[in-house]
Amino acid sequence: NAGVTQTPKFQVLKTGQSMTLQCAQDMNHEYMSWYRQDPGMGLRLIHYSVGAGITDQGEVPNGYNVSRSTTEDFPLRLLSAAPSQTSVYFCASSSVNYGYTFGSGTRLTVV
Amino acid sequence: GEDVEQSLFLSVREGDSSVINCTYTDSSSTYLYWYKQEPGAGLQLLTYIFSNMDMKQDQRLTVLLNKKDKHLSLRIADTQTGDSAIYFCAEIRNAGNMLTFGGGTRLMVKP
């Protein structure tokens, strides 16, 4: 099993550009979530999904969109990148019985 | 302020014990976790404790939970240089399956 796969690992964007961070899991977990990690602030929840077709906002959702058309995939879209979105992004999947599994992260720089 | 709080930094000598502390505010927390993050890497689950337990031991790791004071600690016995990393505590609350993280404690192990 691959677990949680995030792509790309690194990305540089110009202010105003849009892009999609991909996240896929092969563990048939019902829950998926996106976090951003900033120095001294730990990980903060951006958006989450409790199943295909269901998404909800986390702590810091502004500037991001998500969709969950399948159980496996949970892409995170930046609509118009801003320097404040420079961060490391982690995708995670989880289930009630098996806890959380994290992807290896995407380091995003917005210039 | 954060719902889950940790001190930012801890320095110990190799061979000593390390104790990383965490406080949380939500009494409905069901599971409490400790994650380890090495430089440039994702989050690795170290251990977890269910809220009806006081203590859990796993090899060099001991987790203590004081529900009355909402205090969680991670003790690492015989700390090694390979233990140098950032340690995050996290909680899951009854209301859902989403993790709330502390800001992380950077553990530095000196030879």
Annotate chain B with DSSP letters as a single string: --SEEE-SEEEEETTS-EEEEEEE--TTEEEEEEEEE-TT--EEEEEEEETT-SEEEETTEEEEEETTTTEEEEEESS--GGG-EEEEEEEEETT-S-EEE---EEEEEE-
pLDDT for B97 beyond 80:
no
**Residue of B2, B41, B99 with shortest CB distance to A100:** B99
Average pLDDT over residues B16-32: 89
Paired sense of beta strands B105-110 and B85-93, if any: antiparallel
**Per-residue pLDDT at B54:** 92
Q: State the pLDDT confidence band at B10, using cuts at 50, 70 and 90.
A: very high
What percent of chain B clears pLDDT 70, i.e. is strictly above it?
95
Give A41-93 pLDDT, tens digit per residue. 778 999 999 899 999 999 899 999 999 999 999 999 999 999 999 999 999 99
CB contacts, 8 Å: A96 with chain B: 97
CB contacts, 8 Å: B97 with chain A: 31, 50, 94, 96
Interface test with B, best of A5, A34, A50, A102 (most B CBs within 10 A): A102
**Per-residue pLDDT at B3:** 81
Average pLDDT over residues B19-35: 88
Nearest 5°: the CA angle B66, B71, B72 is 90
Are residues A40 and B100, on separate chains, in Cβ contact within 8 Å? no
Chain B nearest-CA residue for A107? B40
Q: State the pLDDT confidence band at A32, using cuts at 50, 70 and 90.
A: very high
Q: Which residues of B touch A (CB under 8 A)?
A: 2, 4, 8, 31, 33, 41-43, 45, 48, 88, 90, 96-104
Average pLDDT over residues B72-95: 90
| Spatial separation of the C-alpha atoms in residues A88 and A84, rounded to whole Å | 12
**Per-residue pLDDT at B1:** 40
Paired sense of beta strands A64-66 and A76-78, if any: antiparallel
Interface test with A, best of B98, B100, B101 (most A CBs within 10 A): B98
